[in-house]
Structure 1
Amino acid sequence: MTTLDTRELPKVVLHDHLDGGLRPATVLELAQEQGYAALPASDVGTLAAWFADAADSGSLVRYLETFDHTVGVMQTEDALARVARECVVDLAEDGVVYAEVRYAPEQHLQRGLTLDQVVEAANRGFREGEEEAASAGRRIRVRVLPSAMRHAARAVEIAQLTVRHLGDQVAGFDIAGAEDGHPPTRHLAAFDYLRQHNAHFTIHAGEAFGLPSIWEAIQFCGAERLGHGVRIVDDIRLDGRPVTDDLAGAIRWAAVEPNAFELGPLAAYVKDRRIPLEMCPSSNVQTGAAESIETHPISLLKDLNFRVTLNTDNRLMSATSMSREAQLLVDRADWQLSDLRRVAVNAMKSAFLPFDERLEIIEGVLKPAYDVG
């Protein structure tokens, strides 16, 4: 077992949900301030445990239900700004140097805010968080991905909102929510609008649903990145058999002989085009998209040279952080420093940030820290 300590390594996260990363104490305080009476617990410890237990169900639908409470207390400008500020501070304290944080503005309108007011309030909090982190000696850059909910009908409106705010913390667009029954092609008009305005976007695909979701996201919608993308392994075979028949064995074999694997046409396309996979191990185990950290496809895909990135998804629901995700892979999947370096550089290469700024972080922050000794 490796003794590598991941806490002080610089990290990059591309897939972190604002409404999935609140501090339990903040949820309680905001609920009290706003008269939100639906919380399942009234003390910090019990509430934190409830979120983790409720999310640890093996069902994406059940997992998503936990957001009713976090979104429920994020309905005012001050609440949004506070949650955004604390998000940045918490990420910076965990060693994150660049983050893209996503949330769905359409879910924060219950108390009369407009979509633009939601974005402006959150942006204020993100900037305040960057300043607070810098004053504590932790430099972090945060960019935002407004998300449309795939089961709703506001994707074009959220795409237009994204374009209006590009450059003001906002870096791109996402669609989120339950995949099954809600294909990304329902929102083609939104993706066309984004492309016409030179806006970046990622799509949740291949988490709870399989290859058709990934195929539509890439070939019809034009996704630049895949949110999760874990089911791409369904298109990979070893000795004529699906690797999903024995992921543990496939992972061991990939480390020795990656050329022995046969990639189907979609997997080959994703690999050849270097389409980034925003992978979230703990979250995927919770929702049943992966069986365990040890057999999570991130290790197989890493060794097969897909562009994998490591992410938190929802820090509150998974009781996790970037350091914890990295440490789990070190302790339980035999990852080395070189593997963590690869996913950090992959993520920075794939960020929705100007090239020169990405290069500055790779060369000036990541490589000096990982290339020691």
Structure 2
Amino acid sequence: MSIDANGDVTIQGASLRSLPKVSLHDHLDGAVRPSTIIELADAIGLALPETNPKSLGQWFATKSDSGSLVEYLKTFDVTTAVMQTTEGLTRVAREFVQDLADDGVIYGEVRWAPEQHLTRGLSLEQAVEAVQQGIEEGEDAADRAGRSIRVGQLLSAMRHTDRSREIAELAVDFRGRGVVGFDIAGPEDGFPASDHRAAFDLLAENFFPVTVHAGEAAGPDSIRSALIDGRALRLGHGVRIAEDLQVITQEGDEVQVQFGDLARWVRDREIPLELSPSSNLQTGAITAWGNTLADHPFDLLYQLGFAVTVNVDNRTMSATSLTRELANLVATFEYDLDDLETFQFNAAAGAFLPVEEREELVEMIAEGFDV
């Protein structure tokens, strides 16, 4: 792996940024450009902790590196505050899509919680429409720049509030109009998926895809609830599934592991893990194994055959991109292009798209990695 004068990472002769990628776990309110935050805040008279884009970006990164999901989530008070109008939501969504395209993403799913964007008079429906307008504008802009990208919305309900069934109904209503799936987000520990069984029942009755934040701030019991109560097709993070694995022996690269029933189910059913390495470090999700990327169970899960995917979670808070996350994994675990291609295949297989469209993604990835 090498880095050129422009900061582009090259692996085996291929530009890492140019390789086709799939992003499954990317929060809209965690991906607002600092410069945009400053402009939108000025328009509504909102005071910010920093008024220089570079300094504000550093503020987010510092505040987010707390080792606590609860503390990490507090930084979103700033970003959501400037996303309360049609103009704000549309602009943020448009720039989000453009930033993904610049990162080499060909398909992305953006998750956000409409219930958090109503303080200036928008209805839930108006908020979803505003984001969809921005997504379509971003897709058009990317197309004009010679980059093909498609982005679908994942509507998140906040797990510590009582609007999950309402948001589930909203998601189903917008099926075919930009919304491709449902999620629950927010503080995980103490707020299991079982609290939202009515919402998940509605979604199941309508055969509507679900991913659930689980296995980040809470352990295997949270994952179990996501699968049983939430009928989750993917696990948001899911990194703590590794707590259901017992390493028996380890000699060099050879590891003998005993699977718990939950871990075996997730592995054998190929339930995608939406792993976000930098974010997992910042929120303390991997403290059971250590506090560096080398300690992250990503490689263990990959070597054991779990359907691992690579994600950014929150680009602004983690000062990252999908290219950067992949580069860090290459530097840490010595992955090659075949490994990176596998991560993208896993993500394409887990995308909330019809099988024909997932197969098209796989073909695009294979062609792009044929260097």
The counterpart of 1:163, out of the listed 157, 172, 178, is 172
Q: Normalization by structure 1: what TM-score?
A: 0.94
Q: Using the TM superposition, give the Cα deviation of residue 335 of structure 1 relative to its aligned residue in structure 2, in angstroms.
A: 1.5
Residue 32 of structure 1 pairs with residue 42 of structure 2: yes
Where do 1:150-299 residues align within 5 Å? 150-239=159-248, 253=252, 256-257=253-254, 260-290=256-286, 291-299=291-299
In the TM superposition, 1:76-95 aligns within 5 A as 76-95=85-104
Equivalent of residue 114 in structure 1, options 116, 123, 127: 123
Give runs of ≥4 in structure 1 deviating > 4 Å: none
Residue number among 13, 37, 40 corresponding to 2:23 in the alignment:
13
1:338-349 correspondence runs (5 A): 338-349=338-349
Q: Provide the secondary structure at the position in 2 that maps to 1:15.
A: strand
Asked if the contact 2:200/2:229 (under 8 Å) is kept, the reply is no
Between Structure 1 and Structure 2, the one with more helix by share is: 1
Match of 1:243? none
Q: Distance in 2 between matches of 1:282 and 1:309?
A: 13
In the alignment, structure 2 segments of 5+ residues that lack a partner are: 3-9
Give the paired residue count: 357
Q: Is residue 319 of structure 1 aligned with residue 319 of structure 2?
A: yes
Q: What does residue 247 of structure 1 align with? A: none
Q: Which residue of 2 aligns with 1:306?
A: 306
Instruction: Please give the secondary structure, in 2, of the residue aligned with 1:7.
Output: coil
Question: What residue is the counterpart of 2:365 in the other structure?
Answer: 366
3-state SS of 1:200 partner? coil
Residues 196-223 of structure 1, C-alpha deviations (whole Å, 9 max, x = no match) = 1111010000001101000111122211
Partner in structure 2 of residue 350 of structure 1: 350
Task: Find the aligned partners of 2:74 and 2:146 in 1 and give their Cα distance.
Answer: 37
Report the equivalent of 1:132.
141
- Greater alpha carbon shift after TM alignment, 104-113 vs 283-292: 283-292
Counterparts of 2:213 and 2:90, CA distance in 1: 25
What is the CA deviation profile of residues 162-218 of structure 1, one whole-angstrom value per residue up to 9, with x for unaligned ones?
000011111010000111111110000000000111110100000011010001111
C-alpha distance in 1, partners of 2:229/2:101?
Answer: 36
Match of 1:246 in 2: none
Paired residues of 1:147 and 1:173 also in contact (CA < 8 A): yes
- Aligned residue type for 1:200: P
> Unmatched 5+ residue regions in structure 1?
241-249
Give, in whole Å, the separation in 1 of the partners of 2:275 and 2:136.
Answer: 26
SS in 1 for 2:210: strand
Contact 1:293 1:333 in 2 (8 A): no
d(CA) in 2 for partners of 1:297 and 1:144? 29
Distance 1:208 1:145 in 2: 21
Question: Within 1, Cα distance between the matches of 2:330 and 2:321?
Answer: 14
Indicate if the aligned counterparts of 2:61 and 2:316 stay in contact, CA closer than 8 A. yes
2:237 counterpart letter in structure 1: H
Percentage of matched positions with identical amino acids? 54
- Checking the alignment, whether the CA contact within 8 Å between 1:40 and 1:47 is kept in structure 2 is yes
CA shift for structure 1 position 35: 1.6
Q: Which amino acid aligns with 2:17?
A: R
CA distance in structure 2 between the aligned counterparts of 1:32 and 1:370, rounded to whole angstroms: 43
Q: Over residues 21-56 of structure 1, what are the superposed CA-to-partner deviations in whole Å (9 max), with x where a residue is unaligned?
A: 00000000000111212x111111111110000001
Task: Say yes or no: does 1:61 pair with 2:57.
Answer: no
Q: Secondary structure at the match of 1:14?
A: strand
TM-score, normalising length: structure 2: 0.94
| Distance of 2:53 and 2:229 partners within structure 1 | 45
| Structure 1 residue 125: Cα displacement | 0.3
Counterpart-to-counterpart distance in 1, 2:227 and 2:189: 17
